[in-house]
Amino acid sequence: MQDRHSQNEQTAENLPLRGIKVVEAAQGVAGPFCGRFLAALGAKVIKVERPPEGDWSRKIGPFLPGNVRSECSALYLYNNMGKESVLLDWETESGMSALETLVSSADILIEDWDRAYREEIGLTTDRFTSLNSELIEICATPFGLTGPYSRWKSTPIVQLALGGYLYLTGNSSEEPLMLPGHQPDYLTGLNAHNAVQIALWERARSGRGQFLEMSMMENLGVLHQFTFEMETYSGVVRNRNGLQWNKVGPFASYGITTLPCDDGYVAFGASTEDQWERLCAMLGREDLLDDPEFDTRLKRSQKSDTLDSLITDWMKGKTRQEVFLESSEKWFLPVAPVLNLNEVLRDPQFVQRNLFQPLSHPEAGEALYPTFPFAMSEIKPTVARAPLLGEHTSDVLGGLA
Amino acid sequence: MNKSGYVEGGSLSDLRVLDLTRVWAGPLATRIFGDFGAQIIKISDPRTPVANTNGVNNKLNRNKLSLGLRLDKDSGKGIFRDLVAISDVVIENFRPRVMRNLSLAYDQLKAINHDIVMCSMPGFGMEGPYSEYPAYGTTAEAIAGVPSLIGYEPSVPMPTGIAYGDPISGLHAIGAVLASLRNRDIAGGGQFIDVALAAGPVITTGEFLVASSADSYEREVYGNKHTHQSPHGAYKAAGDDNWIAISVTNDQEWMSLRSVADDDRLSDPRFFEFEGRKQNEKLIDQVISEWVANREAVDLMNLLQNAGVPAGRVANSRQFLNDPHLAARDFFVWLDEQEFGLKQYEGQSIPGNYVDKSNWEPSHQMGQDSRYILEDILGYSDEQCHSLASEGAVAFNRELPTSDQRD
């Protein structure tokens, strides 16, 4: 595997964010995930980490093998691809002064200083934008900087709970289940990138910078499917229903269900009338199309256990991949195997899209890194490794003097 | 929205977006453009009217103009091409072959408008072995491996319950389109963007995939149990299906939890450190479950948070819509829907950028803006509009009789 670092520096000059300088003081996932997009699109991203340990995600796993554990966190390595790392303690006077100097010539500042922390170290929201009127500062915190929860602590499960997601995953009446890893933070990072892109658009026209205060809880709120409309239009509280789609309200339907076959589970999505007809044809049960017991979506959803067992019988002796290919190619049904991570890494569709690229890191060695779900005809986002802690301190701070 | 279709003041007010998207991921993306003032021309086939009684399409189609247009008719295609010539962005989420078969693929649109940015959002991407396969957010998350990371036990995967592929794909489209527009303004020329629905949730589980590729991740799926935090989970509080999520991230938070819960069984000094708590997690969970069983989730949340312990009530839709924090932050918006009256919706999580919710427009009915788009934007004559209506290429809701009514 080759180290793509130097190669990418040459191509960055053709990318849309060329010439944009970003200072990232955020830690964990939300802010850094935003910074990762900016770096991939050509910005120079200077990640400022507080000594001695740096970004807290360096202590969170999973870890790649390597002698220096703080350089081997896959969470850090993934979210900080293509950045430079500078050790700087903004809680000291000289550190803050160095940060101010960095930010005064920057276009974007990404941070995650919540209300409690701002009060603790005496940091007002206009500290940096007042130094640089063209600065776009994005502050991504769990609850935002105002409101009754703004001094509260949060973690992904707390975020998912208050954001209305936790309630929707898992078996009905059993403990609701969290999404894996750091999903609220990733969703926030994605939208923080969108916020910065919109602000860059604004700045290109008006010359104005902005302080953008983003709440993770609100990010979950805008990404609900029809949870709130079930309530506001039909008076139904959406519930969780395990492997089957919810059976209540106007969205009750059969066909969105996860079922076992010979080598694992398959996700089916056959909710429309057309798809119901094709599903019956696939199962060799066209007779159901004339059966008054199954002639509405609601009735079918109430018979979901019966229908599940028909599909399960049909899948006997088939692998996930066989079910997937037959359902998709021949019957044009939205069906997919539930893959495990190693299978995802080898999936032919993802491989063909170059969704994973090999990178080598001096401490953590070689691994495959997910790139981006989008492909662009004229832009090739850079894919480069994450920095070592303080790898660029002297380059960056030396240049300030 | 003012007469021109622009939300006044939004930072994207100088953009025009042609929106051919359906279902969720695509309309979510164009909703963001519309919220920030871009003129969204939502193009729908009049033969398949957009359902609105369940509210989802209303919520996604705010701040959008509606043009009822048949792209399979030559005159309909002509109108679309005229619009492409004066637009910045085209977004669609059909199967790859649909736009090709209509002779409206990127290269053909680029011949009309060299600077057009086209974003396609198919299930699996424009090319590759699965490219023509259908996908939903629910099946996309499955092939991306997400359900394999959720469950009560490792052998049974659990879907998210929220069709997770869709919102991720929608959010990716925004950033890619805006970056392309910036590129257009700097270097000239448009862009074709291919966002694969199924690839979206792969991106948000990156750390697990990176580690797996180096054979250094062992999947550990046991409900809400956490490798670095203990206790960690959702515990059943008073009432019907009310739960409180608690996660203790360090020893100090444990001491706070212990003092609030005030149960002798939690005083064991072995529990003062993570390893001891993790080893005795069952007992600790048992004590917490007993403690919360007859208490209100909201009270527990306030009690724990005020003591410095991360905790949150497991909100259902009703509780989220009534959340006092969100109300204090003016998160929600009420829009006066034509058929349904005032309805509460989520506002916008993207801050700033001169967005003004008081200018937001509820969803429009099919073809409501067809006449405005044809006459005022494209300069068609009244006679041309009547002719297009009579051949059924354009639907003019309420403003012009449809061909059926004229016959």
pLDDT tens digits along B145-202 = 999 999 999 899 999 989 999 999 999 999 999 999 999 999 999 999 999 999 999 9
Instruction: Tell me which residues of chain B, numbers 164 to 183, contact chain A at a CB-CB cutoff of 8 Å.
Output: 164, 166-169, 171-176, 178-183
| Whether the predicted pLDDT of B372 surpasses 70 | yes
Distance CA(A220)–CA(B395), nearest Å, equals 36
Question: What is the DSSP pairing of strand B394-395 with strand B65-69?
Answer: antiparallel
Token digits of residue A294: 């199954």
Could you tell me the pTM of the whole model? 0.96
B300-342 residue pLDDT tens: 999 999 999 999 999 999 999 999 999 999 999 999 998 899 9
Complex prediction ipTM:
0.95
Residues A361, A5: contact at Cβ < 8 Å? no
Selecting from B135, B244, B315 the residue whose C-beta is nearest the C-beta of A336 gives B135
> Is the bond leading into A362 cis (omega within 30 degrees of zero)?
no
The residues near A249 (Cβ < 8 Å, ≥ 6 apart) are A230, A234, A236, A238
Residues A344, B202: contact at Cβ < 8 Å? yes
> In degrees to the nearest 10, what's the CA dihedral of B49, B54, B58, B60?
-100
Instruction: Tell me which residues of chain B, numbers 56 to 115, contact chain A at a CB-CB cutoff of 8 Å.
Output: 56, 58-59, 106
Q: Do B210 and A64 touch (CB under 8 A)?
A: yes
Instruction: Tell me which residues of chain B, numbers 137 to 166, contact chain A at a CB-CB cutoff of 8 Å.
Output: 137-152, 156-164, 166
Q: Is B25 on the interface with A (CB under 8 A)?
A: no
Name the nearest CA neighbour of B205 among A84, A81, A222, A344. A344
Flag residues of chain A having pLDDT under 50: 1-10
Give the SS3 label for residue A136.
Answer: strand
> In degrees to the nearest 10, what's the CA dihedral of A300, A304, A305, A309?
90
Burial label for A11, CB within 10 Å (0-12, 13-18, 19+), is middle
Residues of chain B positioned with their CB less than 8 A from the CB of A375: 125-126, 193-194, 196
Q: How far from A305 is each of A247, A254, A301, B9, CA to CA, in Å?
A: 12, 10, 9, 52
A146-169 residue pLDDT tens: 999 999 999 999 999 999 999 999
The per-residue b/e assignment along B247-281, b for 16 or more CB within 10 angstroms, e otherwise, is: bbbeeebbbbbbebbeeeebeeeebeebebbbebb
Q: What's chain B's average pLDDT? A: 93
For chain B, what percent of residues have pLDDT higher than 90?
A: 87
State residue A401's pLDDT score. Answer: 55
Local confidence band at B208 (pLDDT 50, 70, 90 cut-offs): very high
Question: How crowded is residue B364: how many other Cβ atoms within 10 Å of its Cβ?
Answer: 21
Name the nearest CA neighbour of B206 among A169, A367, A376. A367
Give the SS3 label for residue A150.
Answer: coil
Backbone angles phi, psi at A113, to 5 degrees: -75, 115
Distance CA(B158)–CA(B168), nearest Å, equals 19
Beta strands in B11-121 (DSSP E): 16-19, 39-44, 65-69, 89-92, 117-120
| Whether the predicted pLDDT of B348 surpasses 60 | yes
Q: Taking CB atoms and an 8 Å cut-off, how many pairs form between chains A and B?
A: 492
State residue B8's pLDDT score. Answer: 55
Taking the CA of residue A263 and the nearest CA in chain B, the distance in Å comes to 11
Beta strands in B161-238 (DSSP E): 191-195, 232-236
Residue of A nearest to B233 (CA): A157
The residues near B262 (Cβ < 8 Å, ≥ 6 apart) are none
Question: What is the DSSP pairing of strand B39-44 with strand B65-69?
Answer: parallel
Q: Is B355 on the interface with A (CB under 8 A)?
A: no
Residues B91, B19: contact at Cβ < 8 Å? yes
Distance CA(B357)–CA(B348), nearest Å, equals 9
State residue A11's pLDDT score. Answer: 54
Taking the CA of residue B372 and the nearest CA in chain A, the distance in Å comes to 27
The per-residue b/e assignment along B6-45, b for 16 or more CB within 10 angstroms, e otherwise, is: bbeebbbbebbbbbbbbbbbbbbbbbbbbbbbbbbbbbbb
Compute CA B199 distance to the chain's CA centroid, rounded to the nearest angstrom.
15
Give the helix ranges, DSSP H, for A128-226: 156-162, 183-206, 216-221
Place of tokens 């450190």: B273
DSSP string, A287-336: GGGG-GGGSSHHHHHHTHHHHHHHHHHHHTT--HHHHHHIIIIIS---EE
The residues near B338 (Cβ < 8 Å, ≥ 6 apart) are B362, B363, B365
Q: Do A365 and B185 touch (CB under 8 A)?
A: no
Backbone angles phi, psi at B93, to 5 degrees: -135, 45
Token digits of residue B110: 């680029």
At residue A239's C-alpha, the angle toward residues B351 and B166, to 5°, is: 45
Question: What is the DSSP pairing of strand A264-269 with strand A256-261?
Answer: antiparallel
Name the nearest CA neighbour of A263 among A328, A343, A320. A320
